[in-house]
Every structure is written in structure tokens, then in C-alpha cells.
Structure 1
Amino acid sequence: MKRELGTKKFSIVFYLLLLIYSVISHLALGYPPNIYAILGNFLILLMAYRLSKFLFCAILLIHSLICTAYIPEAIFYGSPSIGIIASLLETNSQESWEYLQSLPLYSYAICIIFLLFSLGVMIFSMKINRTLFQKKYLIVFLLLTVIATVYKPWSNERKGKGFYLPDTRVSLVGFYLINYQLIKGYHAEKDKINLMKNIPATWQIESAQPSYQNYVLVIGESMRQDYLSMYGYPHNTTPFLASTNGVVLNHYISAAPNTQTSLLRTLYHYQGEQTQYQNNIITLAKSAGFKTYWFSNQGMTGGFDTVAARVGATADEVYFTKHFSDSSININDRKLLPIFAEKLQQPSDKPRLFVLYLMGSHPEFCQRLTEKPSFDFINKNLSCYLESLKQTDSLLKQIVHQLQLRGESYSLIYFSDHGLSHTDKDSSSVNLRVGSEHKENYQVPFIKISSDDKERITLNASRSAFNFIYGFAQWLNVKEKSLDNGYQFFSENNDKIKVFNWHNDIDFEPLASDPALQ
């Protein structure tokens, strides 16, 4: 039998290590420092230790492994949010591998150091005589733990926000409760969307007089506006978009900072906090007499279980380059061109809507390219990012060329789902990744190119992606009862801009700026 260290000196050392662990593990889950949280975490672990060393070690090991896995998310995205949950549950194996590759080495170093420290605390705990901490104090510690745990929810209750236990700052409790609620909420929303697939749309079409035979909506990925030469960036990243005639929105702001949360609020009829899942861009076009097509280079993981793919599932003809069985394959966006050209050449007695959903500039950027980048910009990652922008620009040029070859009237809209944030901006290892704290996470390109354009028009009004569904109807020249309220998307009248930052709808203007590197 191993000898226990029974002196008070070693017990004090153990308590100090446990306090340090309580602080670090709290921060590792993305929570800000908080005295109630640290006290609650410390007392929970201390009580578990006094009850049973096995119980203590089990809790410490499981919690430490979860903290270790979450540390990169805590560094870059903070505490748990619906955006993180949606990304986790709707990411295929290729995207997961690319995400792991994109993490800086220091994040892995932090994970390893934290895990080694946690194992050290666990090993040291086995050598301490737990009876030095008298059992009679358990009731006192339990009472203090309850107070620390309920303090924030109780404070919210007093402010009229309601008592919601997952709001607790004690991360040993709150982290698991909030993730349970987020996952439960995610699956509830997913079930609603799946249910709505079989429920007819409730659009009330008043008139449909499309001005063009072919409409093309191209949805880009992770493209920041300020890195595009079409918006004045000095490197020639978008030669086609910078020179073509059309209508350019200078201040189009995405609804949210990552794909799932953004497109949920862009492609569906989103009113207040209620999403009408059966009413989306595809069902609107179909209700107005359009034939609809959905061509996607983003995965159809497990049966239309991404926000965008569920919209696509309602189209008349659907094509995915990636299905469940081959979601790990990296396929270039050019793969969509032949299927688009083939369908475009088929005769139709209806106006047509084609939606092309790209991988675009999705991190990891170098994986998006078919050849080495032509840019030599700061480092490999940013050079690949600039090249991915140019590659999307070239794809749009080819799509327009196919439309011109068809010889019918056409109109094309391109926008990106969200932008990105710099990481390690002051070092040579600077990179770009999803974030929610800066204007540039939401500032994205928007351009409309039509066969009858005679000039390039720039609109400087602030425009919110929350209102895209109104602009979409106006683009198709479709009047629908709930969308026909006098609002003009393609105008110089400013929208009041709010964005969803994974937690709440917040004002856009107070956000900090993270300008492009030149």
C-alpha cells in the first residue's frame, strides 16, 4: 500500500494546486474570470475529493479531457454558443481535418501543458490523506457551492430575465448545462426544419413578372470584403468583379459570423426571432412559377443536415459534389461548372433559378486551390487566401460566360456568407479564421450582374442580410404579400444593422475594426 502524505504542509500545496486548476480549467472553457465561478469549481472538486479519491479522479480526468479539447475554441471563439454547436454537428471529416490543421502550434502546446498539469494534480492527490479535510465541513462547502452556482441566475431573475441555471458562472456546472441546452435546441431546430420539408410553403404570391429568363445566385464562403480589389484592395484579387458592369453594394453586412447561423437568417424568411422554415428562397421561387436548381460543393452530410442543404433539398433538381460517403474528399468549385452548363443548355418554358453554393475561401485556404498561389503575401496561408479569392472571381467570370453563350437574358447575384478575423496579426504566422468580435467578420461582398447592365452602379447604403429575402423577391420581380411592404433592397436607404454574434442580436457599429493587411 502506497504511503500517503499526511502533513498539513502537503495538504496546503494540494489545495493551492486545486485552486490553480479551478482557475485555469475555467478559462479553458472560454469563460471570463469570476470569483463565484472559481470558488464554486474549487469547492465542487474539494467535496468530491473528500467523498472519494476515485470520484475526484474520475471528475478531474473527464473534465480535464473536455477542457483540453475545448481550449482552441476558447482561445478563438470564447464560451459555448449555438454557432460552435452548429459548426461541430454540421462539419464533415474533411472540414474537421482542415480545422485541426489550421490551428496554430501554440494552441496545441497550451492543450498539452494543461493536460500534463491536470494529470500532475491527479497523481499528487493520490498521495494526500483526504481525512485531513474534516467531513463535517461538507455541509458548509455544499451551501457555499449552491450560493456560487445560483448567484448569476438569481441576479438575472431580479433583473426580470428569468431564472436559467445554465447561466451560472460555475463552469463545472454551467458548461455542461449550457451545452446540453444548446445541443437540445439545435436538434429541436433541425427537427422543425426536417418536419417543414413536407409542409407546403405559405407564400402568398400576388404577381410574378421576372425580367430575365435565367437567374443565378452564387453563395460564396468566408470572403472578406476588404481583401477584394473590387472594393479597392491594392492586390488584384478580383479582376473580373472589379471591372464588370453591375450593381455593387458597398456595405452589405452578413447576418452572423459563421455559415450555419448566417444562412439560417439569410435564406429563410426570418421575422423577429421566428424562422419560417417552409418559406425560403427556393420555395418562394417555386411558388412564383420558377424551375429551381441547387448545385452545391458543400457537403450533404447524412441527408441534407446543414442549414443551406435543407433549403437546397426543396429544389426541383439537386446536385451535391459531396455525399455522406465521400465527404472527406476535397473538390474544387469548378466541379459545379459542367453540371451548371449542362442544365443551362436544356430548354425550359419557365423562368429558372440556379443556386450555386461554393467552398470558396473556406479555411484551410491552400486546400481550396488547384495550383500554387500567384501571390507572395506575408505567409503561405494568406497567399493562399488571396489566391482563393481570385479563384472564385474566375469562377464567376466563367459562369457569366456560360450565361452569355446561352443567349438568353440573365441576372446573377453573388455574396459571401460571412467574413473572417485575423489571428496572431502582429506576427509572421498571421492567419484568418472565423470570429465574431470585429466588423470584418460580417462585411462581405455583394454584386448583381445582369445581361442588360450598361454601367457599374455603386450603392453606399448599409444593407443587412437579414433583409436579403426581400431583395431576393425584388430581384425576381415577384410580389408576395408578407414581403411587399414598401422596403427597397436595392436603394440608398440605410438599414438598421444588427448581427447575431452567436449569443444575441447586437448593434454592428460599436464592433471593433480588424482591417486587411496590405
Structure 2
Amino acid sequence: MFTLKNKLKIAHFALLMSVLNFLFFHYAFFTFVFEYVDYHSFSGMVLIISLVVLMLVLNALVFYLICYLSHYVGKFLLILFFNINAVAVYFINTYGVMIDKTMVGNILNTNYAESSSFFSIKLLLYLLILGILPSIYIIQVNIVKVTWKKFIITASLSLLFVLALILANASNWLWIDKNSKTLGALAMPWSYSVNTILFYSDRYKSNEKEILLPDAVVADRQKSVVVLVIGESARRANFSLYGYSKNTNPLLSKVPNLYHFDANSSATYTTAGVKSILEHTDTDKLYEILPNYLYRNDVDVVWRTSNWGEPPVHIKTYQKTEALMPHCKGEGCNYDEVLLSGLKEQILASKKNKVLVILHTSTSHGPTYNTKYPARFEVFKPVCKSVDLGKCSQAELINAYDNTIVYTDYMLAKIIDDLKQLKDYQSAMMFVSDHGESLGEKNLYMHGVPMSIAPKEQYEIPFIVWVSDGSKMVKPNKILSQNHVFHSVLKFLNVQSPVYDEGMSIFK
């Protein structure tokens, strides 16, 4: 038996690192296993014990191989693993996320402003205790190398043992295969290591240059404008328009010509959700998206954003909050209201008959929901003020989130009021969210759970539409997808295109 000494044989060091990695970073992994395996049965206990032994031996074998090839590289990688593991398990334990390929993409595309909102003392403690302290020991320990013959023998015996254990669990292969995505997303450090490789592999394979759609034609000279508001993390269950018990839509509920439809997002994370809203069909390929397509075909397109994660936008007027801030006045300029500053005037200044405005908001993005709206919109109290959502009561968390919906209600009503003043235009406002949000249900928070196992809170979204008097009629639609946006905008602006699908338009 060995202890934490400053001098260890390479095999002992590798095994120690494997044991620490197992103890520190696999609570969520085995919580899942115990939840879905009958541990009272003999076969269930065999599976659990096998997974424990397999994880310990396999990780020890990998660490052994790396450290034998180079002590310095091995130590560097282990330090990197322990620190990234610490951050990863903080998010897994705190928010119930899965570190799969889509989550890796979400992380790599996160901007500083969003990532900084997750900062907490608890995160620092995870990093200090599970990452930095083990790193100090890894730096100080002296690894005693062995002969190449002993290395070959140890590695070979370990590999044979692993193979034997895998064969002994042949009856459990079906269960492991069925749950492989979840198990792989919770196994450290391989969840983010493998999925980062897969993410970049998919990006490399994808067609980075968008596939152009067939040319379109603007069919009339009627002045028309659509304001498409892309919501962030707005789930329809918390909109009173959809029957929610709390009045989160006090303004929209009184607006004439307003329609709301059930809709599902195609993904539970921003980049895929926004892409789906802007594309003509649900596909992994990068086809020309709505703003690029209309801009290329003589429609005036304006994009205003306080968010991120959209596909490449190729238009003239792309405005971030920093560009809008100098011309904005009032308390709302520090929030998503800045996106509405001078919007009516910008539409009126257009020299084109057809105008599309896209507002990409961030209003309901967690974990700091209470910072996403001005104080006067804090209708529901008390609210959660911690980034560690598990420390708040669910009532406090939902109150904070509901206040973001009240603020969304105000902004949408304000957009409609502005559009009503454009007497020469046929106008429409469409609000569609990129995905939903978990607020503690099933101990899950925020979003990003793979669609195959995602709860409905993360994909059931609002699809809200307003039309001006005398403009297009709205079909009695049932459940919609995000792809309905593309065809509905074409229909409203009377842009004729070979890719237009009448069945995918919400307008008659």
C-alpha cells in the first residue's frame, strides 16, 4: 500500500491519480448508474462493481502510458485534467449539465460577458480543492521510472484484465450501449476530451461556406416590415398567454391581433436553436440563412443583438449593443431595451419597400436572471440572487425567471406600439425563443441537455405573432417548429422563392 509520498513508482503514481480522479469527479456518473441500475440484483451489482474497477484500471493505464513516455507531458496533462475536471463537475453538480459534443460547442462559443455570470465562490472552492491542490502535489512528486520490459508487462497485463472484464460483462453491453452518451458525458476527463475532438471534427466536415438558395423576387411594392424577436431561454410554460397562473403577460394579453402558438425548438442550446429559426429546413448543412437571403434579394435587413451564437450574418446593418448604447437614453439602455432605441426611425429611414428587423435578445438567460431586467419589473418576490441556483428555493428561482418574462412582455408590447405608428406599412412582430429552460425540475437547471433525453421545459417554446390591421391573415396553426419562421417571413413580405413552402407559413 502506498501513501501520498514525494517519491512514487510510475505504476503507483498512475494508480493514485486514477483513484483521486475517481473519488473527486465521478459522483454524478455513479448517481446516474445507481438510478438506472437495479443494484439489489446480482447482475446489477456485478455491473456497478465492474464499472468502478474498469474506470480505475483504464484511467490508471492511460496515465501510466502517458507518464512513461514523458514525465513532463504526463504531469502537464494531469494538471490540466484535474483543473478542467474541477470546473466541469462544478457545472454538472450545480446545473445538471451534460458535457457532450453539443455542450462543448456551447462552451467554446460562449462570450466573456456570459461566462463571467457563472463566477461564484463555490466555483473557486471546486477549483482550489479539486484542481489546484492536487496540481501542487503532481508538480512536487518525483516519479520513479521503470525498465521498458516492466512497462510492457504491466501495460499488457492491465490491458488483458480490462478485456477480460469487458467480456465478462457481455450481458450488460446492451445497457451500456443504450446509456453510452450519458455515461460518456459524465466520465472525466474523457467527456470533454473526446467531445472536443468530435466537435472540431464536425466543424471541419461541415460546409463552412453557406450553400446559396435559389434567387427570390419581391412581388409587390407594398411597404411591409417584419420585426423578428429571437428570445433567449424563454419557455412557454411561464407565459400567462399559455395559461400560466401568474400574470407574466399583462400587456400582450390586451393587444388585439395577437396570436400565440405551441412550438418546439429543434435543440436545447443557442447556436443550434438560432440556426433553426433562420433556416428554411432542419438540416446539419449550412444553407443561406434568412437575413442573408433576403438582403441578397433586395430586402433591407437590420440585425440588432445583445447575444451571440448566430450563424455567419452577411448584411450591411449588423449592430451590437455597444453601437446602440451612445444613442440610447434611460434606464432600459442597460438591458435589452437598448435594442429598441431608435428602431422606428431606422425603419422609416429605409429606402426599400420591404424591411426585416431581427432583434436577438438575452433577456431570460441564466443563471443571473435577477440582473436581466430593471428594478421596476421585479413584480414577483423574493428572487434568487445567487449564481448557485441550487442554493435558492425553487420559488425564488422561478420568481426571478418570471420577472424576465414580464420584461419580455413589456418589450414586445413596446415594439408593437412602434409598429402601429408606421401607418404606411403592413407590419408584423414575431417572437420565437431559441430553446426553453429548466428551473430545478428533476434537479436540472438552465439548458443544454441532449434532445434525446431533454425535459420538455428545455424545448417547449413560445411562438407569438402580432399583425397590423389590414395585413396578412393568420392560419389556425397547431404546433409549430422554428423553421416556420423562414417561410412565414417570406409570405408576409411577399417574397417569392423556389424554396418557399406554403405549408410552413403561418399566414394565409
1:78 and 1:349 mapped to 2: Cα distance?
Answer: 45
Does 1:81 find its partner at 2:100? Answer: yes
Give the aligned partner of residue 371 of structure 2.
367
Q: What SS does the corresponding residue of 1:414 show, helix, strand or coil?
A: strand
Q: Which runs of 5+ in 1 are unaligned?
A: 157-166, 300-305, 493-518
Q: Deviations over 1:212-234 (max 9, x none)?
A: 62221111211111111211222
| 8 Å Cα contact 1:249-1:461 kept in structure 2 | no
1:143 and 1:173 mapped to 2: Cα distance?
Answer: 18
Q: What SS does the corresponding residue of 1:256 show, helix, strand or coil?
A: coil
| 8 Å Cα contact 1:229-1:237 kept in structure 2 | yes
Give the aligned partner of residue 506 of structure 2.
490
Shift, 1:401, TM fit: 1.4
Shift, 1:281, TM fit: 1.0
Give the aligned partner of residue 264 of structure 1.
275
| 8 Å Cα contact 1:40-1:145 kept in structure 2 | no
Shift, 1:97, TM fit: 0.8
| 8 Å Cα contact 2:227-2:356 kept in structure 1 | yes
1:149 and 1:140 mapped to 2: Cα distance?
Answer: 14
| 8 Å Cα contact 1:217-1:356 kept in structure 2 | yes
Shift, 1:333, TM fit: 1.8
Q: Deviations over 1:343-383 (max 9, x none)?
A: 12326352222222222222222222232543243533433
Shift, 1:455, TM fit: 13
The alignment covers a number of residue pairs equal to 450
Mapping for residues 6-405 of structure 1, pairs under 5 Å? 17-24=16-23, 27=26, 34=51, 36-47=54-65, 57-75=75-93, 76=95, 78-101=97-120, 109-115=125-131, 118-119=134-135, 122=138, 135=151, 137-141=153-157, 143-144=159-160, 175-186=192-203, 189=206, 192-193=207-208, 195-196=209-210, 201-205=212-216, 208-209=219-220, 213-276=224-287, 279-286=288-295, 288-298=297-307, 306-308=309-311, 310-311=312-313, 314-322=314-322, 331-346=334-349, 348-363=351-366, 364-371=368-375, 373-381=377-385, 382=397, 383-405=399-421
Shift of the 178–319 alpha-carbon distance from structure 1 to 2, 3 Å rule, reads closer
Q: Which runs of 5+ in 2 are unaligned?
A: 34-50, 174-183, 327-332, 386-396
Q: Which amino acid aligns with 2:495?
A: V
Q: Which amino acid aligns with 1:282?
A: P
Q: Which amino acid aligns with 1:41?
A: N
Q: What SS does the corresponding residue of 1:444 show, helix, strand or coil?
A: strand
| 8 Å Cα contact 1:248-1:448 kept in structure 2 | yes
Q: What SS does the corresponding residue of 2:277 show, helix, strand or coil?
A: coil
| 8 Å Cα contact 1:365-1:385 kept in structure 2 | yes
| 8 Å Cα contact 1:414-1:446 kept in structure 2 | yes
RMSD, aligned CA = 4.7
Shift of the 425–369 alpha-carbon distance from structure 1 to 2, 3 Å rule, reads farther
Structure 1, 25-34 or 435-444: larger mean CA deviation: 25-34
Shift of the 244–22 alpha-carbon distance from structure 1 to 2, 3 Å rule, reads same
Query: How high is the TM-score relative to the length of structure 1?
Result: 0.71
2:117 and 2:242 mapped to 1: Cα distance?
Answer: 29
Q: Which amino acid aligns with 1:369?
A: Y
Q: Which amino acid aligns with 1:64?
A: F
